[in-house]
Homo-oligomer: A and B are copies of this chain.
Amino acid sequence: MSHTASVVGGSGFTGGELLRLLAGHPEFEVVQATSRSKTRKTVGHVHPNLRDLDLRFSSPAELESVDVLFSAAPHGVAMGEIDRYREAADTVVDLSADFRLSTAAQYEAWYDGHSRPALLEEAVYALPELDREDLPGAELIAAGGCNATATILGLLPLFETDLLTGAERIVVDVKVGSSEGGAGGGDAGSHPERSGVVRPYAPAGHRHEAEIEEFLGIEVAFTAHAVDMTRGASATCHVFPDSPVSTSELWGAYRGSYAEEPFVEVVAGGGGVYRYPEPKTVAGTNRAEVGFELDPGSGRIVVFAAIDNMMKGSAGQAVHAANIALGIEETTGLGFGGLHPVGAP
């Protein structure tokens, strides 16, 4: 194992996923997991899939020196702790929104004031399909938002190939699982209230719009719904191109962008039960499924993208980016390919 690692905020859902991935990763050794609320409990006390891990949560007040520190603390924590993080580790990967956007103005427009704006420019967005070339050697990495990740992966080929100009009308209608709300969750997240829902929870103004607009350079009309699954984010993008686009152009674009990508699969039509991207197919994996269909009447392109919000949308993306940053073969530790059949993952 060539690198030591720690996880700040290890008792949350994405913290648990980080621990799972790092514990099974041949190039990382987990030396610390912190938790404010579960200090001294075993990791397996909170994450029953990790009972074999011989590790107890320690206080975030005392950070051990490691090669890579992953922070899964809530929004706003990392920017306050960033000096301590960087003192403790050469490479910091933050899973919150704190360092995702490029400018303090943008951050303030969507979140609050930023206490360390100078670092925004330094931080590298953790989505290799978008900016793989920026990741090697990066010392501050910001994993993207799950809904933004799904949307960006769905739309990216249309812009990489200039099928779109960026001025088009694009509606993004997202369906997400309950793990997006994190552990805890309040009344709305309790099982009786949350199960079976198709619940509009962000009709407009969802913060992940900021990332989509920054990294694709476009504006989208974004709405998110909570649906009855625990893991998963599925983005349906309704795109109205100015000039007609053919199915073969679409295949060309998506194959062009993703044929060599290890974690993106194009699923568009064909027979059988699974003809388009579905979040349950990628549950537990770092894979994204991306697909499309052309509406023959209107010329609308309907783009689908499905990910596991905690994996490709968070912890998996973070490990993927860290692999690249550290020069590790990028798929290392991310090989789990998912199950079939699987219920509501």
B-binding residues in A (CB < 8 A): 13, 16-17, 20, 24, 41, 45-52, 169, 171, 173, 175, 177-179, 181, 183-185, 187-200, 203-205, 219, 221, 223, 225, 227-232, 234, 236, 238, 240, 265, 267, 270-281, 283-285, 291, 293-298, 300, 302, 304, 306, 335-345
| Given A225-B175, A279-B198, A231:B343 Cβ within 8 A | yes
Kindly list chain B residues whose C-beta atoms are within 8 Å of the C-beta of A198.
Answer: 175, 227, 229, 232, 234, 278-280, 306
Kindly list chain B residues whose C-beta atoms are within 8 Å of the C-beta of A291.
Answer: 200
With both chains docked as a complex, state the minimum distance between the C-beta of A126 and any C-beta of chain B, in angstroms.
21
CA distance A17 to B222 in the complex (A): 36
| Given A200-B304, A204-B294, A302-B203, A173:B236 Cβ within 8 A | yes
Q: Do the beta carbons of B195 and A230 come within 8 Å of each other?
A: yes
CA distance A193 to B51 in the complex (A): 16
Kindly list chain B residues whose C-beta atoms are within 8 Å of the C-beta of A298.
Answer: 204, 219, 221
Q: Do the beta carbons of A183 and B173 come within 8 Å of each other?
A: no
Kindly list chain B residues whose C-beta atoms are within 8 Å of the C-beta of A344.
Answer: 195-196, 228, 343-344
Q: Do the beta carbons of B191 and A195 come within 8 Å of each other?
A: yes
Q: Do the beta carbons of B337 and A24 come within 8 Å of each other?
A: yes
Copies of this protein, total: 4
Kindly list chain B residues whose C-beta atoms are within 8 Å of the C-beta of A199.
Answer: 276, 278
- 8 shortest interchain CB distances as A-B pairs: A196-B344, A230-B343, A204-B295, A203-B293, A192-B341, A191-B194, A49-B338, A48-B274
Partner of A190, one of B50, B173, B183, B197: B183
Q: Do the beta carbons of B49 and A295 come within 8 Å of each other?
A: no
Kindly list chain B residues whose C-beta atoms are within 8 Å of the C-beta of A277.
Answer: 200
**A-B CB contact pairs (8 Å), 5 listed:** A175-B175, A196-B230, A198-B232, A204-B294, A204-B295
Q: Do the beta carbons of B278 and A205 come within 8 Å of each other?
A: no
Kindly list chain B residues whose C-beta atoms are within 8 Å of the C-beta of A340.
Answer: 13, 16, 20, 47-50
Q: Do the beta carbons of A187 and B184 come within 8 Å of each other?
A: yes
With both chains docked as a complex, state the minimum distance between the C-beta of A292 and any C-beta of chain B, in angstroms.
8
CA distance A295 to B228 in the complex (A): 25
Of the listed residues A13, A41, A205, A284, the one surrounded by the most CB atoms of chain B closer than 10 A to its CB is A284
Residue of B nearest to A195 (CB): B343
CA distance A151 to B230 in the complex (A): 28
Q: Do the beta carbons of B191 and A278 come within 8 Å of each other?
A: no
CA distance A177 to B192 in the complex (A): 9
